[in-house]
Structure 1
Amino acid sequence: MTVSVSAPAAPAAETVLRRPSLAGRTRAGLAEALAEIGVPEKERRMRVGQLWNWIYHYGVREFDAMTTIGKGLRGQLAAHFSLDLPEVTAEQVSTDGTRKWLMRMPSTGPHDRGAEIECVYIPEVDRGTLCVSSQVGCTLTCTFCHTGTQRLVRNLKAEEIVAQLMVARERLGDFPNRKPPEGAFVPNDGGRLVTNIVFMGMGEPLYNFDGVRDAIAIMSDDQGLSIGRRRITVSTSGVVPQIGPLGGEMGTMLAISLHAVRDELRNELVPLNKKYPIKDLLEACRNYPGLSNAKRITFEYVMLKGVNDSDAEARELVRLLKGIPAKINLIPFNPWPGTKYECSDWDRIERFSDIVFRAGYASPVRTPRGRDILAACGQLKSETEKLSARARLMLDQDQVEAVPAVAAE
């Protein structure tokens, strides 16, 4: 089932100047905002704490709702800032309950209608997992991944990453004492809310290290959104130099998009492997800060028919991972329009899983979720590529027209 919340609007003739939003900002960012409107330095720490609680714990969208803050300061804040979140332009619901939101970020200039990204919520019996994006498009070109066919537009800012969680909580009725917006899909069993975060949406998280780091700090703060770092997983295709800093600075769980056991094949499936081959990647994994049996690395392995699913490759996978506390997530390939790959047959996946399991590794086969709305692993791709191309054309035309004037000066 597909539900369009609103149709994409035509680009405005003139840029509408919006008040900058405080939603998604770090504590330092909130302090800077308070300084801008003249709040004394000695008062800012207390005010930051109040704003933090209202924005992230209660999810309020109007400053007037912040009853612990004086009316005068509330008025100042409302005059200069907003609490706006990205616009949900479409909301799709799978037959299995998975929800996919297409979100439009605020525009950054006269020819930017606002970048669009996708975010997916996956309800399960014991948890609710939110798959967030870290980039608009993707800097990588993994051949089996739909997102990889979309060029990179830009990194998401920390507040844009955090805003995905805030939108999800709002649309799921997951903020205390907050009425969900009209048209929101609120679970009626009372228990399928956001408990886990996975950075497995659009983009390579470790190529947006600072934005992801700051977003995780906000998401995991126990006075606000309160998602524990052990419930946050960052997935990388293998940006080796940033794996150690990820563990040292963020302390999250780590997932590796492996998908092959030979460099020759991984070079094709995950071209980043040409820069950081399997040997270097696994060495970085062995040295991951905090690695233990209680904090295992998840190795993701998409099952491609006749490509990487043989018994020999299963045994080589076991050999490669020897000594690394690990779980191996086998992912049935999720087809998308134009792909050249097919999903491995089910008995082949089970045989592969059995070899890995008998070697002592947990090897669950990930149940495909949201396939009917292209929300499954490797299927995310928004309309941003088309929109940004139009914007680039307009910008290029403006720059060409401006050249004679600049030259004349």
Structure 2
Amino acid sequence: MGRSTDPKRTSLFSGILILFTIAHFAHHLLAASLYPLLPFIRNNFKLDYTRSAGVVSAFSFANGIGQLPGGWLADRIDSRILIALGISGVALAGILIGFSQTYVMLLVFLVLMGALGGGYHPSAAPTVASLVEPKVRGRALGLHEIGAGVAFFIVPVIAAAIGASLGWRVSFIALAIPTLIYGVVFYQILRRRAGSTKARQVEIDYHDETSLTIPGRIRRLVAFLILIVASGAIVHSALAFLTLYIVDELGASEQAAATLLSVMQSAGLWASVAGGYLSDRLGKVKVVVTINLVTAACIYLLTHASFGVEIGTFLLIIGICTFMRLTVSEAYIMEYTTKRRRSTVYGIYYFSMTETGAVLAPVMGNMIDHFGFHVSFAVASIALVSVTLICSLFLWRSRE
């Protein structure tokens, strides 16, 4: 199933695509609970800020590194195994986290959870895209992306509620058990759907063969990856300090800052499909360039907006652009990579997105310490525009 679970195309919003969307939700369920449970973990182990950051970094770093071997393996073994590990394997690690009695045990199991989840995206994205006709590929990937959007929108509230009443360990275990069950059931569904070994290896992908004959394909693919990775890292490095800006500069409460973040995350409930639709109709490069320019403007205007509706509107627009960008990126990679190397390229993409953002965040923090939020956000906005314009020169004549 590394390239397709079935030789026949399926329609958009079919049962298997809905199941993949739920699978994506399940994959992110425990990761989405980590941030809201961090205060409970900090209090339990009496951690300072540095060691508290280590809790999040342990998972994020391992998950980012895990994308590389995950993508490489997905091109060489049955990717259903990696999808199952990305759901049930993550759930097993989540149960172990629930039984952690020391800080070191917690870090070890967080690393395990991140590593086991590394193979999901490089396996699931090309599989979802191969299930539908090329003309609706962006919309199918957008539908799949909704699963992650829903997870990061509603799971923090559920996890925090369980953590407050029963403890953070129970919260991890309670969320992990249904995740584990779904992963096993979904794997069995994919096995039955695959049919014979010969059928699993069939993929009707005439559109890919046409795309791969376009001159300069590799150059455009590299330029597009640089554009997406750099722009995503710039945006996330700025947004990492957003709650601090809202609290420290605008004088809002922590709860109000968290509410505004949920407004931004709410875009994940629908913007992914909208981004896929626009990329299918207008072209992927045009959509990404437009999204980046709109995002740059919003980042700059954040420090000039008043608390409430103004800043909430800019955050919602940034959220819409972020989820759209993810969908368009996956669709472009699918179109401009060979079947034998597709998951490997996805792995490189997800790894670069995760680790580059982690590197730029301290740079942004140091800039804020020395020059303040207004200058730092303006620099981020200018950098985003510059990267977009430079890379677009290489992509302008892309034939989509």
Give the TM interval when normalised to the shorter protein: under 0.3
Structure in which a larger fraction of residues adopt helix: 2
Structure in which a larger fraction of residues adopt strand: 1
| TM-score, normalization by structure 1 | 0.23
Highest relative contact order (Cα 8 Å, sep 6+), 1 or 2?
2
Of the two, which has the highest radius of gyration?
1
| TM-score, normalization by structure 2 | 0.23
